Amino acid sequence: MAETVILASKSPRRAELLQQIGLRFEVIAADIDETPAVNEGAQEYVRRMAVEKAMAVVALAPNRAVLAADTSVILDGEILGKPESRRHAEVMLSRLSGRSHQVMTAVALYAGGTLRQALAVTEVTFAVLSPAQIRAYLATGEADDKAGSYGIQGAAGYFVQHLSGSYSGVVGLPLYETAALLSEAGIGLA
């Protein structure tokens, strides 16, 4: 029987992705400060967040395999986190309109005393969005807890004109990279 891994996230999207690949898991959400450090680059930030989430849960369950991830939307080198308000979300989506940005998702797996990491970087290009389209999307409530104020798997999917990289990474967990880390650790999928 495959080992049960702890997912250090309460994200329903990450849970759905793990179910999709047949991983047996339970959830213990990590509670950490997600503030970027001064002058911290985007890659360093998402990697640090994934590791800190994993290690926070390892401290609670030291003999278990723990999987954590962090996703950030990057525009012009700036990390666009979760919106602080509806107005903030509107500003972010207006900035993304008609432009390309990166979505970075770092994955950290602690298993058998070893920490393994992976990073998926996806280039996403949005169509030009009208103010009415942005307001209509914001009215769905989907933007409220999403990095960059959008979820590609939801109503914002039609904003995406082009994507180069990992679709599941944009959703919140790059499955190819995650499966590779699990395989390296000797953790089989169900």
Query: CA 168: distance to chain centroid?
Result: 9
- Of residues 43, 183, 9, the one with CA closest to residue 120: 43
Measured distance CA(143)–CA(83) in Å, rounded: 8
Measured distance CA(29)–CA(56) in Å, rounded: 9
User: Which residues contact residue 160 at a Cβ distance below 8 angstroms, ignoring those fewer than 6 apart?
Assistant: 124, 125, 126, 127, 152
Measured distance CA(165)–CA(71) in Å, rounded: 14
- Would you tell me how many other CB atoms lie within 10 Å of the CB of residue 110? 25
User: Which residues contact residue 145 at a Cβ distance below 8 angstroms, ignoring those fewer than 6 apart?
Assistant: 82
Q: Out of 31, 33, 70, 144, which one is annotated catalytic? A: 70
Q: Is 70 part of the annotated catalytic residue set?
A: yes
Residues tagged active-site: 70
